[in-house]
Amino acid sequence: MIASFAFTLFALLIVAFLYIVKKKKMQSWLWNYAKSRLANRPKIEQTRHIMFCFVDHYEPQWKNKNNIELERQRVDRWMTDYPKMASKFVDSDGCHPKHSFFFPEEEYRKEHLDKISDLCAKGFGEIEIHLHHENDTSDNLRKTLSGFAQCLHEEHNALSIDPSTGKPTYAFIHGNWVLDNSHPKGHWCGVNDELIVLKETGCYADFTFPSPDESQPAMLNTIYYAKDDPNKPKSYENGQPIKKYGKSWGDLLLIQGVLSLNWKVKKKGIFPQIENSDVRKAFPPSTNRVDLWVEQNIHVEGKPEWTFIKVHTHGAQDGDMDTLLGNPIEEMHSYLTSRYNDGDEYALHYVSAREMYNIVKAAEAGKEGSPNDFRDYVLSAPTFKKLS
């Protein structure tokens, strides 16, 4: 324990040094990370189920506002190459990898969503909502989100229907990671009651984090409920972890990816790389990263045998597509399906964002058995429109 404590403090000092050198303010998650290294980890004496979810801040207009042909090239490559890659791999349930396309409202083009919907109809993913906004108001945000959710449902049969309201429901990723107006200078949002607005417009969970900057909540490597203070930004800084036999609380459920230190990848041979679940050319999905994601064991409190891994990317950026659609991602899936899908120690489940949410809620309700039985536990799968 003493050695572990010394190691953790040393790691914390190194990261602090990195942020001082970069002239960045120390982030609130670092202290909680240090404490988590000292906590006792629950023993798992049964098959460990790995839920693997890949979410994408999918922006075909990235650094391009006026070239529709470039947008089409980006989308078309995914429509062609993703099923070729994903068809090579299956999980313990016979499912292929499922990509969750969080499409930006401000970039909507029907032709792009028609293609993505067709891909999803074939079982390769689902569509959710992404949004970039600036100096917004609560009323305008409410109108924007409700309108886009209705559009995705009516035009593309995307999004599940909330059984209690009969309206489209969605997962959300905030552009630039500044959920609930969390930028220190108020940029890229403007809405202090954003969690409330999200709840009112049908958002079932937020998938924004981890963040590479100060918008990261103090609570890390945790699935938790946050309650909004409509008069203050960043109300999600803390909340209540989701628990087995627990109940919903507050305004929004946050499902986070892994945020940690990776000592197997070092800068200048000394400093650990910060692992924030970002997958792209600069941060390829190596086997040591996969092991770190599994080791962190993000789970519903009281049910550690169900592990939730959420990684993210910006899939429409040209320089990263070879990583996301080629050999690096194939090597990642090969490792996942060989190392973490033996049917005894581990069982792998490829899930969409919606399915991950459903399985999280099943864990909260104390459900037993295979997570595969709970992919549609609360929210049913959308039907999606196929291209004729």
> Cβ atoms within 10 A of the Cβ of 332, count?
24
**One pLDDT digit (tens) per residue for the chain, 388 residues:** 455 555 555 555 555 545 444 444 446 677 788 778 777 888 899 999 999 999 999 999 999 988 999 999 999 999 999 999 999 999 999 999 999 999 999 999 999 999 999 999 999 999 999 999 999 999 999 999 999 999 999 999 999 999 999 999 999 999 999 999 999 999 999 999 999 999 999 999 999 999 998 999 999 999 999 999 999 999 999 999 999 999 999 999 999 999 999 888 877 677 788 899 999 999 999 999 999 999 999 999 999 999 999 999 999 999 999 999 999 999 999 999 999 999 999 999 999 999 999 999 999 999 999 999 999 999 999 999 999 7
The reply to whether omega before 83 is within 30° of 0 (cis) is: no
For residue 327, give every residue at least 6 positions away whose Cβ sits within 8 Å of its Cβ, in sequence order, or none.
none
pLDDT at 16: 53
Kindly state the DSSP code that residue 303 receives in the 8-state scheme: B
Domains and CATH numbers, the chain: 1-40 (no CATH), 46-374 (3.20.20.370)
Please check whether residue 56 is in contact with residue 312, taking contact to mean a CB–CB distance below 8 angstroms.
yes
Alpha carbon distance 335, 287 (integer Å): 7
What pLDDT score does 272 carry? 84
What would the DSSP string read from start to end of 214-274? TTS-SS-S-EEEE---TTSS-GGGS-EE-BTT----SSEEEE----EEEEEEEETTTEEEE
Cα distance between residue 306 and residue 383, in whole Å:
27
